[in-house]
Chains A and B, each alone.
Chain A
């Protein structure tokens, strides 16, 4: 298993050795449409380093056993590897205990687990749920559906249409004594904007509301400390942090998790099943019914270790550099409009834009011809687009392996869009 581990530099202001890191990602040697492959769709999912791919393969070639069941060696080892990831993830987000980490299949399943396991039991008609207008559908639709079903009121922190930031001037009215749950994204998947989550959570705590932070975009780019954040729940997905698809995380305060109802019922989540009554296990097992994505969870552990080795601070610095660079280079393009606050320190490595009267789909098509992968369209954030009054955007989203040279290629390709649509 050859794999070059990135070296950790001891100083605070570290910079990445990107050329060396890139060798860890085998897909980066491919071409797309006959051009060197430039991957700028990290907001959708991140590329996987060899160590993650190897671990997924290792499970099937060397272990292939179910967990928490067998008495034989391979099953024991598989169980150990699976459980070890829980510890790795707990330390990564600085949870108080491993028991606060529940494995799901995605961030989407995590928010639904909260909706079914906590909210269904604790929210009544007349209560209020507060989210924001910039949420991804994963942290929007479950609450809207739940509010409808329970007769609760759904409130939304509005977006400033000028720069797609949140307008929190009316926070005290939007989050009030009737508010039972507050859901807020820590980083917008459309603009990279990071709302003032501490302010919003502080207000939620003041009225005794339970808090859900959507970290699907944020956790892969930031140093996360759930104890400092002091949210009740944090949801995120492995695949956006160099891990495999099919694994998500629900971090939850242990006491809350134990109070919650299970969401999926079946094997593995029970202590004792009698014909009269079943006793469930405690969290997190209570929420992990059935055979989980064992290979995926094991590989996810490798992904987190990979990120830790590179260093979250260094990743953040690197993305800030790319963001500043793309914003500067894009300012030379006539008719390019980008979205998100001008203060780049409030944003992660996402650059969402439109070029002249070219529809995002057209721009994406032309970039694709040049070997550049971006996302186009509504980005699962229809309410945000509605508030901006646009038919979608082109989104370039960066990660640790992207380079300034790739930004240059992006800019060149945008010039081509300009030429075609001039």
Chain B
């Protein structure tokens, strides 16, 4: 176990630096903010829907590498999925971090497995879950979004 192998893999750092999904959405169908007051992570997520299909997800805000990388991976993973499919992926991702289960992601989602090493660093798990929990909450109660 080492930081470079578990936490700061190239794929995580790339997702951290990526600006691709880092923007605010003016015409979002759902939007919500998530924060970890203890470490200062504070992200806002925006979702564009077409019926029950996710067209796009973007995020904005400040956070550590794990928080931002996981948000970027989330945006990529949600694109084009139905809400049901999206919830399954979110469930799978949470189980990977919280229940130590080997994930079964389809090939296009294989990048998500890069986050697995985070579970060796208990204080960082909440960073890796912040964006994901925020989106899960919106999908569970879409009416509360805005």
Name A residues whose Cβ lies closer than 8 Å to a Cβ of B. 357-362, 365-366, 369, 376-378, 391-392, 420-421
In this complex, what residue of B is CB-closest to A420?
B8
By a CB distance below 8 angstroms, the chain A residues around B38 are 377
In this complex, what residue of A is CB-closest to B121?
A365
Of the stretches B23-31, B60-68, B72-80, the one at the interface is B60-68
Instruction: Give the total of B residues in contact with A, Cβ under 8 Å.
Output: 22
Q: Tell me the bound Cα distance from A365 to B39 in angstroms.
A: 12
In this complex, what residue of A is CB-closest to B2?
A369
Tell me whether A392 and B40 are in contact (CB under 8 A).
Answer: yes
Name B residues whose Cβ lies closer than 8 Å to a Cβ of A. 2-4, 7-8, 13, 17, 38-41, 62-68, 121, 123-124, 127
Interface SS majority for chain A? mixed
Tell me whether B40 and A365 are in contact (CB under 8 A).
Answer: no
Tell me whether B124 and A357 are in contact (CB under 8 A).
Answer: no
Beyond A361-B41, A362-B64, A365-B7, 6 extra complex contacts between A and B, CB < 8 Å? A358-B65, A359-B62, A359-B68, A365-B124, A369-B3, A421-B13
In this complex, what residue of A is CB-closest to B127?
A361
Pairs A-B, 8 closest by C-beta atoms:
A359-B64, A361-B64, A391-B62, A420-B8, A392-B40, A362-B65, A377-B40, A378-B40
A180 to chain B, nearest CB (A): 32
- If A358-B65, A365-B121 touch, whether A376 touches B39 (CB-CB below 8 Å) is yes
In this complex, what residue of B is CB-closest to A370?
B3
Identify which of A360, A362, A420 gathers the most chain B CB atoms within 10 Å of its CB. Answer: A362
Q: Tell me the bound Cα distance from A413 to B63 in angstroms.
A: 21
By a CB distance below 8 angstroms, the chain B residues around A376 are 39
Q: Tell me the bound Cα distance from A378 to B62 in angstroms.
A: 12
B77 to chain A, nearest CB (A): 22
Tell me whether A366 and B13 are in contact (CB under 8 A).
Answer: no
- List 22 A–B pairs whose Cβ atoms lie within 8 Å, in order of A's numbering: A358-B65, A359-B63, A359-B64, A359-B65, A360-B40, A360-B64, A361-B40, A361-B41, A361-B64, A361-B124, A362-B65, A365-B3, A365-B124, A369-B3, A377-B38, A377-B39, A377-B40, A392-B39, A420-B3, A420-B4, A421-B8, A421-B13
